[in-house]
Each structure stands twice: as C-alpha cells, then as structure tokens.
A and B are shown apart, each in its own frame.
Chain A
Amino acid sequence: MAWRQAAIAGVGASRQGKLPDETPLSLATEAFRAALDDAGISKDEVDGLLTMPGTSSPEGAKHYLAVGEHLGINPRYTGSMSMGGATAGALIQNAAMAIATGMASVVACVFADTARSHGSRFDAAAGRGDSWGIWGMFGNAANSALGARRHMELYGTTSEQLGWVAVNGRRNASMNPAAIMRDPMTIEDHQASKMIVEPLHLLDCCIISDGGVVVIVTSPERAADLRKPPVLLWGMGQGHTLQNLEAPEWWYLPHQADCISRAYRMAGVGPADIDVAQLYDNFTIAVLFWLEHAGFVGVGESGPFVEGATRIGLGGELPVNTAGGNLSESYMQGWLHVVEGVRQIRGESGDRQVADAELCLVTGRGMTLNTSSCLVLGR
C-alpha cells in the first residue's frame, strides 16, 4: 500500500542561466509566484516554509528568516537544511511529514542560487583539519572520478558509456524550452572534451547556473481542489554515509541503495513499476550508480545499459532525466528533477512526455557523496 498522505500541488521555476542582475531572493520570488500560479493557491494559505540556502546565500541555517521576511510568510512550521543535492527530496519529505501530522497545511519548499554569477567555487579541498588538499585532492569532480575509476576497473565501464548519459541529457534538454544547454552534443563531442579529473571529461560535469525553484506540498484532499492534478508522494527515502573514509565501500555509495529500497517499501513498488526516472546527475557516473542502486540493473551492469542512450532515452524502457538534468537543463541541485517528475506524472512534459507515466523515481545526492534522498511520485 503506497503511503500517499501528502501531495505536490504546485511547482515553479524562475528563468535559468546566467542572470547577473538577480539575487537568490529575487529568483526565489520569481519561482514562488510561478509555483503559486501553478497550484492555483493564494500565498495566504502557505503556513509552512522550508528552505535550502544556495551557495551564494550567506544566511546559512538562518536562511528561512530571510526568505520568510522577503516573501511575507509567518509560518507555523519552518526551517532550513543543507544536504547538497539531497536537500530537495529531504525538504519535500519534511513538508510531507508536517502535512501528514497536521503541523502545517500548505508548505512552500524554496531553493534559489546565483552560483553562476556569484562565482561560487565547487573546487575547495574537502576533508577536515588534516586536509585532503595536501595530496592535491580538490573539488567535486574528483570525488565522483574516484567512483568512476573503480567502477571502470571492476566492471569494464568505459568513458564512452558515461558519455551516453551526457548525450541523453542534452537530447532531452533540446526538447525543453527552459533548458540552458540545448545545442546538439554527440558522443564524439563528449570524448573530445578536455579532461578535468581523469576519468571524467568536461562533458561529464554538470553546468553551474543561476535560478530558483519552489515546490508546494499539501494534503491530497486540498490538492484535489486545486488547479492541477495532485501528484502524490507514494514513497520517500533517505540514506547517508556521513563517515566517508571510515566506510569501506564509500566510493560506491551503498547508502543510495538503502535510500531507494526504503522508498520502494513505503510505496509498495519495485524497480519494474517505475516508468520514468529523474536521477541526480552532478556527474555522468552518478546516473550509472543510481541505475544500479535503484535495481534497474545489477551491480556493475549500468555501463552497457546506458550505451547508445536508447534504453535510457525517450521511448526507451526507462527514460532518464527527461528535462536534461543538471548536465544540460540547469544546475538547480536536483530541484528541477522534482519539477520534471511532477510534470511527467501530470502529463505536462510536451515533446518529452513519457506515455502513460504513472510512477516516477526522483533521486538526489550531495555533500561529498555522503547524503541521498529520493521520492516515488505517482497519482
């Protein structure tokens, strides 16, 4: 029996791209207006506010104060959370739990960032006092490259197979008028792009962008009276390896498999029931790991599965990242993955619509690969 005790009633995104005249608050406002309009609900009904500070937001854990003041919301339930790319899913889960317990009736989940214009750096040395920087270990690409290398050597996964994930994202983005990167990309383009941290090429890496996204969560009953068909939360999961180096298999992120199996259990479904998937793609290798962790393929089998981008393409057995993802649509740290999941379930994705999409898996991960969250969206 699926959980289905909360619903996504509205999604809204600001313009995406390089928006030097905007601030995180102005972009949050633009996205909030769009989400209210999408839901057909008044701001006065919003009594819950959950926020994720962007890389360019200075407020940290007090971010909700700035957003609430700016949007004129005095909620009965609020807070901010920073779990990187797992935050979108985690905040929507918090909102759903607040709805189910009656602590709030309409919760706005808010993210905005001006990472592109603000010049946010994603290349700091990770680690603690005995910093990894003394070994030249910098940046987010390297963390994912470590997993990619071991996957390649253990299972024969190739750089070209990773490239098909990028090509798939770009092909889908080309059908998405709101996507930033819409020019065609071939597998040859991917292979010819410069190396960043081997085995990852430039086109294995997501883009950096400015933008905002708001997701409005309410009860299934309230959602049924609003403008759009409710998208129900069938299942939700989290999994984390907060220790990284202390965890022997950290490179493979086994907590992601736990995260998804928890959501499947809550939804009463399995991988064969999923019609379309929005898989967090900060780097192409992430999609391969998700395919294995979600049980779409066995351990080590994701490389051949993505080859040619046919099975993961539109019309394939499991269309993936149908709006373009972090790689080509916009780097909204997974928030646009939720938006596209909602649109697929509503049947609103236009040329990118997956026929009869009844269940969508949306995943997110972040913080040096330590955190993960996922949602199973349905009707």
Chain B
Amino acid sequence: MNAATGLSADPAEAVLPDVTDLNRPFWDGCAAHELRLQACRPCGHIRYPISEVCPRCLSADYDWRPMSGDGEILTWVVFQRGYQPTWAPLVPYNVVLVQLAEGPRMFGNVLPLGRTDLRIGMPLRVAFEDARGGVTVPRWTTVSEGSAVA
C-alpha cells in the first residue's frame, strides 16, 4: 500500500500503464522524477498523448524534452462511484485535467487523492508516486498562489 495515495502497490491489483517501446521514455522519465514529453524537431510542437508522429506536421522526428512540472487545473471531477477494483475503495477521489505550462494537457490527480477543495486555475506542481507495481506515476500537488515555484 502506498502511503501517499492508498493505492495498492500489488501489480495484480493496480491499473498499470501499458508500457511500450513508444512510451517507455515517458515512464523512464517518471522513474527519474522528470516529466518528459515529445517535442517535434522540425516544428517544435510539444505533444500529448504520446504518438508516433507530430499531429501538426506529421514528422516522426522528435526529442523527449523535460517539462517544467508546472501546470494548472483546467477542470476537475470527484469520483463517488468506483468503476474498477483498484480505485473503488478510494472513492471519493479527484481526477484533474491539467493544463501544462508548456501547452499540452494531461489527466492526473491532486494529492492526497481525497482532496475536493479544488478550483479551476489552481497552480499545480508535478509529484511522482513511486513503487506502484514497479512503475512511477505522475500526480500533482497544489502550489499556494503567489508563492515562487523553484
């Protein structure tokens, strides 16, 4: 059991990412506590979801670029119904749609998962949850507004 989230660390119980050759650098980045996304070499577009080619210019040439780890809440919900065995014991838990400082958007959770005092526009900072079935998952913490983010 992970202390921060209450999620099971047992791979048999956890909902784990489907790690492939394509997305492995993302998960390796998480393991190193760095949020890395694909940046297109020819056009510079930073993209998410992870994909083979740039959806803007169709180039397959890209770098894995470290992100700042800063973002804000674009929108958020609270699950009161458990749809899946790993998550059912954790209701109510939040899911946020994060607007990253660099442009892309991705889903995540604000820690602790039971936090429900959220608002759109709240500044977030990425946090990494280790040892969940051997995979490190990016989640988020709120940053008090006005405070400098190093």
Give A residues with C-beta under 8 Å from B. Answer: 123, 125, 127-139, 141-142, 145-147, 149-150, 153-154, 194-199, 243, 245-246, 248, 250-251
Contacts and interface: CB of A to CB of B under 8 A. Distances in A.
B83 A138 contact: yes
B26 A130 contact: yes
Contact of B15 (A134, A142, A251): A134
Contact of B18 (A129, A138, A150, A198): A129
B80 interface: yes
Given A125-B84, A134-B17, A196-B80, 18 more contacts: A123-B83, A129-B17, A129-B23, A130-B26, A135-B108, A135-B109, A135-B139, A136-B84, A137-B107, A141-B81, A142-B79, A149-B76, A195-B80, A197-B80, A198-B79, A243-B55, A245-B49, A248-B105
Interface in B34-53: 47-50
A154 B119 CA distance: 10
Contacts, number: 108
Task: Kindly list the 9 A-B residue pairs having the minimum CB-CB distance in the complex, ordered from nearest.
Answer: A138-B83, A195-B80, A198-B78, A150-B75, A145-B77, A123-B83, A133-B15, A136-B87, A129-B18
A147 B77 CA distance: 9
27 contacts: A123-B83, A125-B15, A125-B84, A127-B49, A129-B20, A129-B23, A129-B50, A130-B26, A131-B18, A134-B16, A135-B137, A135-B139, A136-B15, A136-B87, A136-B93, A136-B95, A138-B83, A139-B83, A141-B81, A142-B77, A146-B77, A147-B75, A150-B74, A150-B120, A198-B78, A245-B48, A245-B105
Contacts of B23: 129-130
Nearest to A142: B77
A149 B118 CA distance: 11
Main SS at interface, chain B: loop
A153 B17 contact: no
B93 A149 contact: no
A197 B76 contact: no
A243 B54 CA distance: 12
B104 interface: yes
Q: How large is the interface on B (under 10, 10 to 19, 20 to 34, 35 or more residues)?
A: 35 or more
Contact of B49 (A130, A134, A141, A250): A130
A128 B49 contact: yes
A355 to B, nearest CB: 40
B55 A246 contact: yes
Given A129-B18, A129-B23, A245-B105, A138 B80 contact: no
Given A130-B23, A130-B26, A135 B107 contact: yes
A134 B137 contact: yes
A203 B49 CA distance: 32
A198 B116 CA distance: 10
A48 B109 CA distance: 49
A132 B48 CA distance: 12
Contacts of B87: 136, 138
Contacts of B67: none
